[in-house]
Structure 1
């Protein structure tokens, strides 16, 4: 909604308006592109009057009689390029929208450039949009895609990180969360685990929200621009948790459709990129091998099959694709049958009555053709994606890994020794083996003895694994043990903790396993 308002020159779009949209150009940077692309297709942009959408730092020609909507981060180089556009008189008018709040000094730079270029009247509106987060689904968003390494688990837990770097990371996270709640139009209740990065984020976000509310005239949580969220007693709960509470889950080989696509294929911002393997055609000796075709597919909210099956176990998805294909073929055969009947010859009454009856059927079949074509497109899409996933499952024995890791995490008896799994040359890549061993190491209450550990290390090295993650997890586990050691002094009786606060405050890595078993027992 916020994006559509912005593309309509920051005026809420009128529903059912029959008038032509105002034709305009959209200029964005990489950040803006990442925010818009999962939400709006090219067709939707065109329906809103966007005839061209271009990157800010590309070579752009002047289009002097068209307004331009800019959607960019307020960085130095972006501001410089916008000032250059003003000086070159590229467009009729400029609607400047910044993804997160622009500082006063940068705003003054733009003002000076506009005065210098004699283009003050052309700068129609300047807005802070507070949209510095990427919405992938109705109930899921991520903080960033460009420079995502800067706010990753590794960035926060690097041993050589400086205080200023840590502050920058925290500010980036807080800015995105703040933007999210401004867009939502609601003040959250914040809960976090103590003594971790999550607490730093919570304190900074709390301070930022309070500062904004204190200035009633300029508060982003009042006024007509937002819904009645700020007066509602139904405030959202924001739970901030440190990843260290549950390190095993991101390493786990999963079995649901969406998680498998994310794990084994190139899947970013709802788009999956596949390499289509060309058939083994006999090519003349000495000929160049054929290039692999790259294909991209969008898995979005409008894809009904994806919405229905993304959380389903993979075998169920394969069955559903087959069922969809059969129902599509039945509909297609029906259309073909009607076509052949329509070619009836002879004028007898039976044929004519049959003809009128089938005409109605054919009319309905023709009207359902667009729907049928869309169904065919989705079936082809998911057949290709599911086949690509299946190839990975077969070649890496991911089903075996999934079952084995489940048993480790649920403390069940193992039917095969871990050493055999690691030493099996056909089972998985070195990364798969390392992930399996790390889950075992994290989940075992008692760390393996030095002799056993040396054996495992040798097997992992022979399998081609890099042992750096293991040394990190070893240190992390030692720290976690120290942190969770009881520190009770005097005769103060321990306070009984509720389950949720136990989950939030324990440094233990076993907390989430119970939840996981509940969810996955249904496999």
Structure 2
């Protein structure tokens, strides 16, 4: 159950099957798939002479070279490959596709191979982005049809392909459960189950445990609060404040960022500091970055005096590690420095404290007064003012003294753009208490024993006011581990209940996941060594991308993928 290992295995096999130097030909999709699990230098070390894009027609012919092509079987890539085969630039082509080819596509390729340069065609199952060893995304924003509990068809097709590919790459044939009130989860479950039955030969894996693995399909609308909150652990905070896209952070707009840190890669496999600190809170990160800088300064001093051949030899031998540490220090000092600046300039501590009070406590009059103060605070951004109102609207939409209208008017007076203000009504349609697909009592308003109380434990033992909130996913996994996840709420579409809990679980959330939920899965895996959970979603959200998800549902944008538009 390691998605990075699974994708790396496929790519390694592709480029290692044939000895000698070769060209690796990719498209825009597979370029991202490969770059998530391999650095360019790692690929080049596998006798890959050059990495090219199939959609770039103006490439230098190399008739003496072999070509390994790894492509998604989209119409765009198939057409580019057909043009390539009609006028081949390389001596031989080994074609690998990240998912299943149709018979029509195979016929088109065979017809285009007039020069008989294609040696083989294979389907591999690496049709998803492996962000981390237990995290998958498809980079889809806006998967729901406007105003309806139904899919946008291209998004359903892409999601089905991604989920099926993930199962095949991990060699798992699962039972399937889904959020019972969600038609989109039910439809995805049906489509995945249909393909498993249709391609029974592909899914005829030897079972490694007595209890079959589980695919659990959830709906983002069942917990709209988690993606609205500011975050305070390192990975989640970087994504919330700066944005992580395909394990890269754009720092081009950060004051004082050096030329080498305009865009940085953050990956647990390539960065020990990031790996050790990924789930720590911001205060701990500050202390650890000081330690990292001090360690680097000590190592620098040891190389200041090179007086002999032996000194020079020792320096040269340690230079790669020295240079790597220099890059690591520079990157994380820039990241933490910018996070600290944003926290201070945007008054994020006060904003976050109020967010947690809205989410985890119940003092309406006090919350109203605090929100009024922040809406008038010139340091608080329009985005964070809107964030507070969205959380309030979800929590108190039916309160007898609800101040939603007052707050929306206040946003108008503060000059908050229409696009942000319109989200207040949109989020109620998307995931308000009256939404048909929402099956959780998110704030415990239906009694003291509601889900909210189970999620937070009533705040007992909470020693950090900024991290009181626990995502609904944490409770769902806990119930699953205890065998108490109700069949009525999460029915089976494929397979049936068993007395034993599953040992391998793939959770996929329609509408996107968050890095707070990634941490919840990490903590669950640590606490339950007999179970292994892998998390996936149509996207990995921060506030900006979640706003786009809501906006798409409201019907005011046609974008179905890409980064959020809310700056």
**TM-score when normalising by structure 2:** 0.70
For 1:403-414, what aligned pairs fall within 5 Å after superposition? Answer: 403-411=353-361, 413=363, 414=366
* Native 8 Å contact 1:265 1:272 kept in 2: yes
Which whole-Å CA distance do the structure 2 matches of 1:178 and 1:479 have between them?
Answer: 33
Counterpart residue number, 1:392: 342
Larger Rg over CA atoms: 1
Match of 1:179 among 165, 173, 195: 165
CA distance in 1, matches of 2:15, 2:326: 38
Which of these residues, 333, 347, 354, is aligned with residue 383 of structure 1? 333
| Aligned with 2:379 (options 400, 417, 426) | 426
Give secondary structure in 1 for the equivalent of 2:136: strand
1:351 alignment counterpart: none
Task: Note if contact 1:133-1:142 (Cα within 8 Å) is conserved in structure 2.
Answer: yes
Q: Distance in 2 between matches of 1:36 and 1:329?
A: 35
Contact 1:255 1:402 in 2 (8 A): no
Q: 2:61 aligns to what?
A: 62
Aligned to 1:296: 263
Q: How far apart in 2 are the matches of 1:323 and 1:412?
A: 40
Q: Counterparts of 1:65-464 in structure 2 under 5 Å?
A: 65-114=64-113, 117=114, 119-120=115-116, 122-143=117-138, 145=139, 148-149=140-141, 152=142, 155-159=143-147, 166-196=152-182, 197-213=184-200, 219-222=201-204, 230-233=207-210, 235-275=212-252, 295-300=262-267, 301-336=269-304, 339=306, 367-411=317-361, 413=363, 414=366, 417-427=370-380, 429-444=381-396, 446-447=398-399, 449=401, 452-464=403-415
* Cα distance per residue 1:271-320 (max 9 Å; x no partner): 1110265669xxxxxxxxxx999711111122000111111111211211
CA distance in 1, matches of 2:247, 2:488: 31
Q: Tell me how far apart the structure 1 counterparts of residues 185 and 12 of structure 2 sit (CA, whole Å).
A: 37
1:68 to partner: Cα distance: 0.9
* 3-state SS, counterpart of residue 267 of structure 1: coil
Q: Give the alignment of 1:478-489 within 5 angstroms.
A: 479-480=434-435
CA 1:335–1:194 in 2, change beyond 3 Å: closer, same or farther? same
Residues 83-117 of structure 1, C-alpha deviations (whole Å, 9 max, x = no match)? 22122131111111112111001110111111xx2
After TM superposition, give the deviation of residue 78 of structure 1 in Å.
2.1
Structure 1 CA distance for aligned equivalents of residues 230 and 351 of structure 2 = 7
Q: Secondary structure at the match of 1:332?
A: helix
Count of residue pairs the alignment pairs up: 443
Query: Within 1, Cα distance between the matches of 2:437 and 2:244?
Result: 38
SS at match of 1:130: coil
Q: Which moved more, 1:454-463 or 1:253-262?
A: 454-463
Offset of residue 80 of structure 1: 2.3
Note closer, same or farther for the CA distance 1:2–1:48 as it changes in structure 2 (3 Å cut).
Answer: farther
Which residue pairs with 1:500 in the alignment?
485
Higher helix share: 1
Change (3 A) 1:454 1:86: closer
How far did 1:480 drift? 2.8
**1:169-222 CA distances to partner (integer Å, 9 max, x unpaired)?**
322211110000100011123221113111211122112112211xxxxx2234
Q: Is the Cα–Cα contact under 8 Å of residues 178 and 217 in structure 2 kept in the other structure?
A: yes
8 Å CA contact 1:255–1:399 kept in 2: the answer is no
Match of 1:35 among 20, 30, 33: 33
The answer on whether the counterparts of 1:97 and 1:127 sit within 8 Å (CA) in structure 2 is yes
What are structure 1's unaligned runs of at least 5 residues?
14-19, 214-218, 223-227, 281-290, 344-358, 487-496, 507-514
DSSP-derived class of the 1:275 partner: coil
8 A Cα contact 2:25 2:67, kept in partner: yes
Structure 2 vs 1, CA of residues 63 and 378 (structure 1 numbering), >3 Å: closer, same or farther? Answer: same
Partner of residue 22, structure 2: 24
**Structure with more contact order per residue of length (Cα contacts < 8 Å, sep ≥ 6):** 2
- Residues 467-482 of structure 1 mapped to structure 2, 5 A cutoff: 467-475=421-429, 476-477=431-432, 479-480=434-435
- Structure 1 distance, partners of 2:259, 2:272, is 29
Give unmatched runs, 5+ long, in structure 2.
442-478, 492-515, 524-567
Residues 233, 278 of structure 2: 8 Å contact kept: yes
Distance 1:482 1:28 in 2: 40
Q: Secondary structure of 2:408's partner?
A: helix
Counterpart secondary structure, 1:68:
strand
- TM-align CA RMSD: 3.5
Distance change >3 Å, CA 67–CA 369, structure 1 → 2 = closer
Paired with 2:255 and 2:97, the residues of 1 have a C-alpha distance of: 44
